[in-house]
Chains A and B, each alone.
Chain A
């Protein structure tokens, strides 16, 4: 049996179109050997949660540069939980002021990567913290 690959969904919640970081990260995850799904811009939290479950991903990476992360990020975690998928890990990135970090951690966001984070730091974080989920 071949080892199961980590499946990652990179998602852009809300109306923000700044997708340079999200697209670079999607490509970087692919090059690192992960399976990648990229949603494109303008996804609602509901769409993101539904796709994450349907695609059976292990990790959701949210990217938001519009300042709406305070509502959008926790909402994705909440929806996953409501649908019994709280074993899908959610991380976030974008323009996130320092003072918002704790609120987001408290809401269940496992890690936050802001501009200037080296790609290999993010990849290493994924390898250390994420295991392919076991399907029952």
Chain B
């Protein structure tokens, strides 16, 4: 075994640490520590000091290695950020497609390097703006998209052959991706040239985000359809973004976020291999991930480093992937919405900067920084600008991107990275034992683990064991007023009118024929993507496509676990 430290170093470390401990004990009486227990935001206990002994079992070649090489702990790219900076990708969308297009052009002009789409709740849930279920929601949390016409105005003037676009869309992912493909075609850009990501990760919806439509089994089948279609026709597209972000926002610990996300990834890989008969190396390079950067600085960095190492090992040892790119865990990061406070909102700028720094030191490929007002409303132009500038300051002023994985070798960082991996592997084994992630979800296992963690954290806040400045410490009675972006109520009426106009003008027989063909594809197991593309071109709506899925596959109801 190739130990990280020589026996001599470990002996010295043991001796010097023992001396130090004696010193601490001697001074303890008059100089007690400020609290008895020190722990991360996820409640992992942290020791007073870390020494070479904490990573005595670490094998340099096996566990650390070099950037761009197995086990990819230090990053996928041999040159790190020196070769390519992370992508500044701000999640945005509000009101109508035209409003969102205006915001996007502003962001691109200000130096953003990728787009990321927030849809409103009706779109996210597969309802049109004129559905009774959509009342009061249209354009509120994101952009309202009903038909290809909306999508074309969303992409108006955006160079689809150069800018990559991420779309946070899950149950209706096939419909929205079909619109992107159709929009590219109508702008003369071939499918082989477009790049981007659809979130398209349903398992985390059942676990945490609760944007679901059909039951887990057919939901995963639709995802495998998109993976197979992308592999064949849209080679630069990431057909899934396996997401821990929402798991963490729902209250999980860092280890749970890591474990459930990776176990979801395993479930998808298994399904594509089984259902589509693809070789793992054909599609694994296009799998992407999405993590949360929470407020506990080192825990987040270690979580991300561990994520890369676990995934490389899983892909090599469990799935026997051979292509090095199949072993890469490429991920986007968003700073933690749930760490922000409505109280004293300007403090959120500081939290976001620290979280963004953790994401960069953890080696993210792409980053969204939250705006200070996102706890209150959709971000205003000014707040978004500060958030984007935060990334630019990190990238271009602070020097943190000068060298690759600068925290490697720290006793604490490597030790915590190991603990993250061990904790995640224990959960993955447990879920394997339950029969996989779908079975675990049906038993309510990940949902209740998260509920327990969220409740425990809330109790720690109530007891003052964990601190949120402005909420349970340093509260300030005087309110900081900040401007709040309001979404005009008229958006809903206008969007409904636009939809009615499209429905009036379209060839409704063609739409019916397309939807029937889609239904039959759902039943026979044919890939639904080509049918979705035909349907959206004929101006079938998002809801009409999703209604086909609901009819064929049934609807999933929230079991309401708490």
Contact = CB atoms under 8 A, between A and B. Distances in A.
Residue from A17, A41, A70, A71 whose CB has the most chain B CB atoms within 10 Å: A17
Nearest to B558: A40
Interface stretch (A22-30, A84-92, A103-111): A22-30
A15 B462 contact: no
B375 A14 contact: no
A33 interface: no
Contacts of B559: 40
Given A27-B455, A42-B558, A116-B471, A20 B249 contact: yes
B140 A97 contact: no
A13 to B, nearest CB: 9
Contacts of B205: 17
Nearest to B251: A20
Contacts of B472: 118
Interface residues of A, number: 35
Contacts of B210: 17-19, 41-42
A119 interface: yes
Nearest to B489: A70
Interface centre among A15, A38, A95 (most CB of B within 10 A): A15
Interface string A22-64: 1110111000000000111110100000000000000000000
Nearest to A14: B137
Contacts of A72: 135-136
Nearest to A118: B462
B273 interface: no
A68 B338 contact: no
B158 interface: no
B250 A115 contact: no
B121 A95 contact: no
Interface stretch (B122-130, B182-190, B390-398, B519-527): B122-130
B192 interface: no
Interface in B518-562: 557-562
A116 B343 contact: yes
Interface in B195-218: 205, 209-211
B454 A67 contact: no
Nearest to B452: A27
Interface string B133-144: 111110011000
A24 B342 contact: no
Contacts, number: 99
Given A20-B249, A41-B210, A66 B560 contact: no
B251 A14 contact: no
B341 A68 contact: no
Given A95-B375, A115-B342, A116-B343, A15 B451 contact: no
B484 to A, nearest CB: 5
Contact of B341 (A18, A115, A118, A119): A115
Contact of A70 (B136, B338, B458, B562): B136
B484 A14 contact: no
B96 to A, nearest CB: 15
Q: Which of B211, B251, B458 has the most CB of A within 10 A?
A: B458
B264 to A, nearest CB: 17
Contacts of A27: 451, 455, 562
Nearest to A26: B562
A99 B376 CA distance: 11
B377 interface: yes
A69 B101 CA distance: 26
A23 B456 CA distance: 12
Nearest to A117: B471
Contact of B136 (A14, A97, A118): A14
Nearest to A10: B562
A93 to B, nearest CB: 12
Given A15-B127, A97-B484, A120-B462, A38 B560 contact: yes
Contacts of A18: 210, 249
Interface string A92-136: 000101010000000000000011101110000000000000000
B454 A23 contact: yes
A66 B119 CA distance: 12
Contacts of B562: 22-23, 26-27, 38
A19 B205 CA distance: 12
A26 B251 CA distance: 15
B454 A20 contact: yes
Nearest to A121: B462
B249 A15 contact: no
Contacts of B558: 40-42
Nearest to B340: A115
A16 interface: yes
Contacts of A66: 121, 137, 140-141
Contact of A15 (B122, B376, B468, B471): B122
A52 to B, nearest CB: 15
Contacts of A38: 560, 562
A10 to B, nearest CB: 8
Contacts of B137: 14-15, 66-68
B44 interface: no
Contacts of B342: 114-116
A3 B209 CA distance: 39
Contact of B121 (A14, A114, A116): A14
B451 A67 contact: no
Nearest first, the 10 closest Cβ-Cβ pairs linking A and B are: A71-B136, A17-B210, A40-B560, A40-B558, A67-B140, A15-B121, A68-B136, A23-B562, A116-B471, A26-B562
Given A38-B562, A71-B135, 16 more contacts: A17-B210, A17-B211, A20-B249, A20-B454, A24-B458, A40-B559, A40-B560, A41-B558, A42-B210, A42-B558, A66-B141, A67-B141, A67-B487, A68-B121, A68-B140, A118-B472
23 contacts: A14-B121, A14-B136, A15-B125, A15-B127, A15-B133, A16-B141, A17-B205, A17-B210, A23-B561, A38-B562, A40-B558, A42-B125, A44-B133, A66-B141, A67-B137, A67-B140, A67-B141, A68-B140, A72-B135, A72-B136, A97-B377, A118-B462, A119-B458
